Each structure stands twice: as structure tokens, then as C-alpha cells.
Amino acid sequence: MNAQMNPINALELSVLTNGFDLSTLVKAAEPIKSPEERRIAWLRERLGMFTASEFYRLMAYPNKAELPKGAMTYASEKAVECLIEDPLQSNNFVSYDMQWGLDHELDAINAFEQLTGLSVTATGSQQQLIHLNEDVAATPDGLIGEDSGIEIKCPQSVTHLKHLNIHNAAELKAISPQYYWQIQGLLYVSKRQHWFFVSYDPRFKQIDKQLHLFKIEPNPADQGLLEQRLALAIEYRNKLI
């Protein structure tokens, strides 16, 4: 800068900025976050909460009146997240398969939109953590209109092959119960009317086998069991805290 250049006075600065207070603009601006930074922020927001992706850990022996051992372990982990300084430091590993899923999720959504003609919102970095209450939440992979959502899986090819032989909620519950309870949890938390389960693997040579999907509706009886388990898990977590 020319050392002889006159500094801009307050009036000129006001004109250049259309009267906005620059300090307010600077405070309001948020730095652009990398995908990893967004992932960490997403994990931090969920600390101590019971979330749909792990509801299956509560649902072993669903007709038992008390929490099964695995559910107690899950609730204990949630208690620890509330108690220690930085629980993410020891739980921040991303495997190759996890990264593959992250890298291809939006491709799967694009393929789904092209096949169905439906528009999916709140995807990728715009995903929304939906709270049932202060203890329970769910993060949809995407939302469709006002009454539907989508759960995307981009798994290993052998797992995708297994998914190709699943066509409804009953088969999903029998073969991959972790995903069944996740989707019933998403429906329960979001209060939406149906959900799409989508499995995607672009490595398959046959294009018609790359994308597989079916629709799941709420199961009131199973959601009632889930609600009971959540209440027990929250009580147990709070007792440990």
C-alpha cells in the first residue's frame, strides 16, 4: 500500500459497506468447515444422547421387562460421554468402508432421485439432527417432502448383495435388524409416515443392481417397545451419572 494514501474516513467506509457495521458482519460470518470438521461437530452435538443409528443396541430381547446387558453397555457409554473431558479423542476412527459410505452417499441420493423422481433435501452437510427431547434424537440422511425420509447405505459389496434380497420391513427386521430399528427410530422421532431404505453400490456391473430400495412404514407395536427401552436406558444412564 502507498504510504502516502489517505486512510478511508468513517463516512466513506459507511458508504462502501452500505451502512453495515463491519464488526457485526465479521462476528456473524462463520468460517467454512471441512467435511471432517463438520463430522466432528455432528458427533459433538450427539454426545450423551440416544440416537436412531444405535437404537438396535437397546432392542435385543425386546419383550424383556428389564434392560438386557447390551443395552446397559450402551447406556453406560452415554453416561461416560456426559462425564469425561473429550470423549471424541478416543473414538474418532474412520475405516475405509466408513469413508466409502461418506464419499458415495450423495451419489446414492442422486441415483434415487433420478429413479423415483422424488426430491431429497437436508442431505450431506445440511443434514438435520431432529430432537425428540433432550435425551433422544435422530439424523436422517435426507428428507422427502413433509412426510417421508431416506436412509442410505453404501456398504461392502457382499453386504449390498444381501440387501438386494430384502424387499420389505419384515425381511429387513429378520436379516438386518440394526437397520430396521434405526428406521423405526427415525419414523418415531420425526413423526413422518414412511421411510425409504436405500442400498447403493456403483461397483456392481449391472446398473439395475447398483441401487436397491423399498419403503417402510411405522410399526406402532415396535415403536412402543422402543419407547419403553429408551425410558429404561435414560433412567439407567442418569443413575450412573
**Strand runs (DSSP E) across 154-231, as ranges?**
194-200, 211-216
Which among 118, 125, 173, 175 is positioned nearest to 150, based on CA atoms? 118
Which residue intervals of 149-219 are DSSP H helices?
157-163, 169-175, 177-190
From the list 146, 145, 147, 142, the residue with the least C-alpha distance to 213 is 142
Q: What is the predicted pLDDT for the residue at 46?
A: 80
Give the pLDDT confidence score for residue 93 in this predicted structure: 63
Which pLDDT belongs to residue 17?
47
Query: Using CA atoms, how far apart are residues 124 and 104, in angstroms rounded to an integer?
Result: 10
Please report the pLDDT score of residue 20 as a whole number.
Answer: 45
CATH number of 38-240: 3.90.320.10
Alpha-carbon span 127 to 63, nearest angstrom:
33
Residues 68-116 pLDDT 10s? 999 999 999 999 999 987 766 655 567 888 888 788 999 999 999 999 9
Q: What is the pLDDT of residues 60-69, one digit of tens each?
A: 999 899 999 9
Would the pTM count as exceeding 0.85? no
pLDDT value for 11: 45
Which cell numbers in the block locate residue 141? 440422511
Query: What pLDDT is stored for residue 97 in this prediction?
Result: 80
Which residues of the chain are under the pLDDT cut of 50?
1-5, 7-8, 10-17, 20, 22-29
pLDDT recorded at residue 8:
45
- As given in the structure block, the three cell numbers for residue 54 are 444405535
User: Which one, of 69, 28, 65, 72, lies nearest residue 50 by Cα?
Assistant: 72
Helix (H, G, I), strand (E, B) or coil at 52: helix
Question: Where along the chain do its domains lie?
Answer: 38-240
